[in-house]
Amino acid sequence: MTTTAIPAESQRATPPAPKRRPKREREGAAWVFLSPWVLGAVVLTLLPMAVSLYLSFTDYNLFDPPRWVGLRNYTQMFTEDPRYWRSVVTTLTYVVIAVPLQLALALVVALALKSMKHGKAFYRSAFYAPSLLGASMSIALVWRAVFNDGGTVDNLLGTGGWVNKPGWALLAVALLTVWQFGAPMVIFLAGLQQIPAELYEAAAVDGAGKWRQFLSVTVPMLSPVLFFNLVLQTIQAFQVFTPAFAISAGKGGPADSTLVYTMYLYDRGFVASHMGYASAMAWVLLLVIGIVTVVLFRTSRSWVFYASEGDR
């Protein structure tokens, strides 16, 4: 039944067809308007990617022409470079700390905002602001000052500077990301507002309390949004760079404790001038992010609930 309904409906929705220009002409115009983006994609994305893939099989120090070394960069990375593995572990630790914390905070704030009667717009902007500011270097530097010894956190908690303690520095980096929970929060908020009020009413009639309603109505209804945020934030977290760079003054210190993957990549490329090695690292990162995303999508089948599934 549904299969026949769709074309019927879409036909009804289509406005009376205007006089069409010849197809070619329309295509031409489309290309004209697309050209800046097509050009951008080719020149600024595809071409550099191709070059980087080539470089990942070479030894290239920026000054001399690249020298072909086959898979050496890759084998060196996996078998001879302890700092590479340290950066992998640091990044994974970071992802595991930052992503759940950030999503939990975003959800809690979104829930609070949803039930607010007044001043919603103000608080929504106020909580979103860090996401606009946070990516900037200046905020990261402020963060460094706040968590430095003699900084605000030191004065308040008397814990000494976090950014100078190998055990704490990564947490300071993660907190900077967590603090920028605005984007997932706004998406959560939109998702929450999509949940039909009748579901809550029905649940209430059946005697479900607030907590039960949250677990049985909100969570399943929100799961596609939760999944979307999870995928997006995880991908971003794997690529964390700015906060780690700023907080460690570009060194990944102290004692390599904030040496996240992209920092080490930067270090190999721009400090040690091993561009081939850095390119190889970039491709491995791309591959790993791809795999993680696929895994997330696979597992999502068991916990993400789409309202449309109910019809089947």
Partner 1 sequence: MPGHRTKGFCASAVALVLCAVLAGCGGSGESVGGGKVVLRYTWWGNPDRAERTEQAVALFEKQHPDIRVQTSFSGYDAYKQKLAVQASGGDAPDVMQLDYRQIDQYASGGVLFDLSQQKTVLRTSEIDAGLLDTGRVDGVQYAVPQGRGTETVVYDVKAWKDSGVPLPTQGWTWDDWAEAMRALKERTGKPGATDPGWSEDSFEVWLRGQGKSLYTEDGQLGFTADDLTRWWTFTDKLRREGAVSSAEQTTQVDGTVENTPLGRGTALSDTNWDAPSSGYLAIVASGVALAPMPSNEDGTPGQYFKPSMFLGVGASTSHPKAAAQLIDFLINDDEAAKILGATRGIPVNETIRKETAPLLKDFDRTISDYQASLEGKLKDPPQAPPSGDNALQTTFQRDYDQVSYERMSPREAAENYVTEAKAELRS
Q: Which residues bind partner 1 (CB under 8 A)?
A: 21, 25, 28-29, 31-32, 35-36, 39, 43, 59, 61-64, 149, 160-161, 164-166, 249-256, 267, 270-274
Other CB atoms within a 10 A radius of the CB of residue 150 amount to: 9
Token readout for 119 is 């001043």
Of 49 and 204, CB closest to partner 1: 49
Q: Count CB atoms within 10 A of the CB of residue 231.
A: 15
In the structure encoding, which two tokens stand for residue 91, read together? 């990044």
Contact 238, 229 (CB under 8 A): no
- The residue among 134 and 269 lying less far from partner 1, judged by its C-beta, is 269
8-state DSSP, 159? -
3-state secondary structure 203-260: HHHCCCCHHHHHHHHHHHHHHHHHHHHHHHHHHHHHCCCHHHHHHCCCCCCCCCCCCC
Burial class of residue 2 in the structure, from the number of CB atoms within 10 Å of its CB (0-12 exposed, 13-18 middle, 19+ buried) = exposed
Tell which residue, 247, 250, 200, has the closest CA to residue 221.
Answer: 200
d(CA 244, CA 36): 33
Determine the Cα–Cα distance for residues 84 and 100; give it in Å rounded to an integer.
Answer: 25
For residue 32, the minimal CB distance to partner 1 (Å) is: 5
**Least distance in Å: CB of 21 to partner 1?**
7
Residue with smaller CB distance to partner 1, 130 or 149: 149
As a whole number of angstroms, the distance between CA 124 and CA 114 comes to: 10
Residue 238 · residue 261 · CB < 8 Å: yes
C-beta separation of 260 from 94 below 8 A:
yes
For residue 283, count CB atoms less than 10 angstroms from its CB and return exposed for 0-12, middle for 13-18, buried for 19 or more: middle
Residue the block writes with tokens 């900037």: 136
DSSP letter at 42? I
